[in-house]
Structure 1
């Protein structure tokens, strides 16, 4: 996972006396519910928010598929230095309990390191803990110091991101294909989107990666809330990711995603949002965003059952 290495430390000259193998352990406790910490760790849209270890580093995700057998490939960029490539492959994913992945880091076609990364989670509604164990093999040079610095910075970013992340879940009693078709459909989405009593007035809608939805949400009292969704990822029947703006081309409000998983004969829908600041998260939570978001998912189920 690219956020865990510090590319500014990768150019240090190797020391032949250094041990090329190391087991590193990192731990963080965050005052958020366990499902929130898990989503911040595992959801690709959230990982893209916290992955850069320092402001001078830019991370570009080329591929992101967080499921067993899936890969995450990213480039870590620092001005004036060659790009660092990281490939992460998911070996085990137990939501809220554990993830295991391999990762390889390379630069200029030369593999720098290989590692097995295990993250163990525990917690309650009041707070959660993650313990990350890295079994590191340095190949081109000793990478231990860079991994220590990179993982510490990454987990600090993860903690800060989790504190401004909102996660809503609902099991909808309908097959995943039906739920997806009613969500990613330009005709049906505006009919159910929004809390109870709200309606949508669409200006433009194009539900594909690179597309957008420009619309007004209209409250029961007639108050208008301009919205602009910019879609970055669309994986049919799996997940979508999008950026929320305050009105057309307005300031960024949040990075959001929705994922769809089979649960029995129904579909578990997870709607997540990383707000731009913790203050915005607290403000949204204060005016009832959790309850209003759950109403929105409830309207989707009602809409599906009515068809």
Structure 2
């Protein structure tokens, strides 16, 4: 499956190496009870996370800002290769999961047409895992809008979840 149809723009890419086996990083990324601990940048919480994690399935998340404002996202799962790769389409949504335009929320979001989000889980050996998230937003736009900073904060939060999973394993 094509992950992106002909885009000349550099896509947003964030990576993180975790000192944990790939199965634990996958679990932190795909289990709603753990996703609720990391969805959103610093100061944001995730009071709602519903996931039908399968090809053709959907997910719905609520990200709540420190001042109580709610931002909803949806995800359509396109391709899942267990412990290796997830191809999905993430979008802004209302509380019922219906797609809405980011501008309706006062958010500037430039998406690359026909590009999907891709999450890769690479086993580096010795119990280490590299996670790479490739977004459907151009890198320059992601830097300007704060998306890049937000995703790096999210990866910091995931690192905490993964560390807790590893400690309890």
What band does the TM-score fall into relative to the shorter chain?
A: 0.7 to 0.9
Give the superposed CA RMSD: 2.1
SS in 1 for 2:17: strand
Alignment of 1:1-307 (within 5 A): 47-50=2-5, 157-158=6-7, 160=8, 163=9, 165-202=11-48, 204-247=50-93, 248-251=97-100, 255-264=116-125, 265-275=127-137, 282-307=140-165
Corresponding residue SS for 1:220: coil
Q: TM-score, normalised on structure 1?
A: 0.45
Distance in 1 of aligned mates of 2:49 and 2:14: 27
- The answer to whether the 8 A contact 1:226-1:246 is kept is yes
**How many residue pairs end up in the alignment?**
149
Runs of 4+ off more than 3 Å: 251-254, 281-284
Gaps of 5+ in 1: 1-43, 51-156
Structure-1 separation of matches of 2:128 and 2:89? 27
Q: Deviations over 1:1-38 (max 9, x none)?
A: xxxxxxxxxxxxxxxxxxxxxxxxxxxxxxxxxxxxxx
Q: Say whether the 8 Å CA contact 2:12–2:142 is kept in structure 1.
A: no
Gaps of 5+ in 2: 102-110
Aligned to 1:53: none
Deviation at 1:283, TM superposition (A): 4.2
The SS at the match of 2:79 is strand
Contact 2:32 2:50 in 1 (8 A): no
* CA drift at 1:282: 4.4
Distance across 1 between alignment mates of 2:48 and 2:18: 25
Q: In 2, distance between residues paired with 1:268 and 1:282?
A: 23
**What is the Cα deviation at residue 224 of structure 1?**
1.7
Per the TM alignment, residue 192 of structure 1 is displaced from its structure 2 partner at its CA by: 1.8
Instruction: Report the alpha carbon displacement of residue 288 of structure 1 after superposing the two structures with TM.
Output: 1.8
For CA contacts below 8 A with separation 6 or more, give which structure has more relative contact order: 2
Deviation at 1:204, TM superposition (A): 3.1
Secondary structure of 2:120's counterpart equals: strand
